[in-house]
């Protein structure tokens, strides 16, 4: 794949992200929040099983073995289900753009905290002038959205 | 209040993304995607059980709601598959910027057609400021990787 096609594909992934939030919000409006979150996960499970069957080359690696060694690694989806509930609820009320932007802001803020403290095994980063400026701009952006 | 809830949800995203990244290193990206949806389904079930008494939970008839609302689950799993393919082929900064631009443009259009909302000047400027902040913050780490 050439560079232009690759960049177009990544741009489309951004469009996909917005549509995931929008579709989940509309689904929750039509059938109810609790019902929609359950169905969304079941559909996602079906699709990810299909991708696994057709695209995974090494199917033998067991996730069950992690239950004994690193059980916390299995919690990502569990925690993420509450994020799906929250996003579906928020999109219904304030729209996709505000929710998407607030999600980016939240990820940015927590990434900054992780970087400054070196949590989760990541390297501890220095607080440079550029980083301080980006945080001030971020806070200003979130403040403008809140008006 | 709902805006702050979404900011907090973004923070939760970082925890789930970190756990998913570590899990995919152990079992592969596609199996980790399945594990995520299995444990996510348990999480959704727990949510249903917790709030069942306060709501009128009912069986869902999926035949009358159209295709678009059902795309969330399909696109979510597809995004993981696509990110596995694209992110290894380009720089982190480029991926981040392209996704943010695509997401923002699509969000403006979706809000206009689904909610009839036209983006206000302060929302547009706030969104641009957040995108600029992310680009500024990502630039040094992109050089490192």
Query: pLDDT of B24-82, one tens digit each?
Result: 888 888 888 899 899 999 999 998 888 877 666 677 777 788 899 999 989 988 888 78
- CA–chain centroid gap for B100, Å, is 11
Residue B136 tokens, joined: 């500024």
Which residues of A are less than 8 Å from B47 in CB distance? Answer: 34, 37, 81-82, 85
Range of the domain at A19: 1-94
User: pLDDT value at position B142?
Assistant: 46
The pLDDT assigned to A130 comes to 86
**Closest CA in chain B for residue A16:** B75
With a CB cutoff of 8 Å and minimum separation 6, the contacts of A71 are none
- Identify the pLDDT of residue A112: 83
Cα dist from A14 to A116, A124, B131, whole Å: 28, 29, 13
Q: Which of A94, A131, A139 is nearest to A114 (CA)?
A: A131
DSSP state of B62: G
Residues A100 and A126 reside in one and the same domain: yes
- Residue bearing tokens 């949800």: B9
The yes/no answer to whether this complex scores an ipTM above 0.85 is: no
Residue A55 and residue A20 share a domain: yes
Same domain, A5 and A42: yes
- Whether A86 and A101 share a structural domain: no
Which of A10, A66, A89, A121 has the highest number of chain B CBs within 10 A, making it the mutation to test binding with B?
A: A10
Q: Which residues contact B53 (CB under 8 A, 6 or more apart)?
A: none
* Angle at alpha carbon of residue A105, lines to A102 and A107, rounded to 5°: 110
Indicate whether A59 and A107 sit together in one domain. no
Do A68 and A6 fall into the same domain?
yes
Question: Structure tokens of B14?
Answer: 């970082």
Minimal Cβ distance to B90: which of A10, A76, A95: A10
Answer with the residue of higher pLDDT: A58 or B16: B16
CB within 8 Å: A11 and B102: yes
Same domain, A122 and A139: yes
Cβ–Cβ below 8 Å for B3 and A102: yes
Torsions phi, psi of B98, nearest 5?
-60, -40
User: Hey, are the CB atoms on B44 and A89 less than 8 Å from each other?
Assistant: no
A59 and A121, same domain (yes or no): no
């Amino acid at each position: 794949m050439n560079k232009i096609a690759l960049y177009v594909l990544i741009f489309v992934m951004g469009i996909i992200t917005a549509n995931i939030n929008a579709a989940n919000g509309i689904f929750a409006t039509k059938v109810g929040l609790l019902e929609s979150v359950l169905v969304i996960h079941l559909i996602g499970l079906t699709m990810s099983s299909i991708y696994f069957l057709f695209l995974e080359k090494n199917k033998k690696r067991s996730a069950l073995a992690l239950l004994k060694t690193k059980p916390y690694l299995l919690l990502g989806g569990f925690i993420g289900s509450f994020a799906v509930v929250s996003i579906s609820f928020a999109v219904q009320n304030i729209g996709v753009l505000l929710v998407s932007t607030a999600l980016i802001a939240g990820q940015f803020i927590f990434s900054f905290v992780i970087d400054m403290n070196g949590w989760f095994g990541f390297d501890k980063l220095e607080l440079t002038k550029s980083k301080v400026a980006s945080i001030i701009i971020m806070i200003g952006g979130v403040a403008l959205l809140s008006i | 209040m709902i805006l702050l809830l979404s900011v907090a949800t973004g923070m939760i995203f970082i925890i789930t993304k970190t756990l998913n990244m570590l899990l995919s290193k152990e079992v592969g990206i596609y199996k980790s995607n399945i594990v995520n949806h299995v444990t996510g389904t348990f999480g959704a079930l727990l949510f249903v059980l917790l709030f069942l008494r306060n709501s009128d939970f009912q069986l869902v008839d999926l035949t009358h709601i159209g295709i678009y609302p059902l795309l969330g689950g399909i696109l979510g799993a597809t995004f993981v598959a696509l990110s596995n393919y694209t992110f290894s082929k380009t720089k982190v900064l480029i991926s981040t910027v392209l996704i943010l631009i695509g997401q923002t443009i699509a969000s403006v259009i979706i809000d206009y057609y689904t909610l009839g909302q036209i983006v206000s000047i302060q929302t547009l400027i706030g969104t641009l400021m957040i995108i600029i902040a992310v680009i500024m913050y990502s630039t040094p780490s992109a050089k490192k990787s």
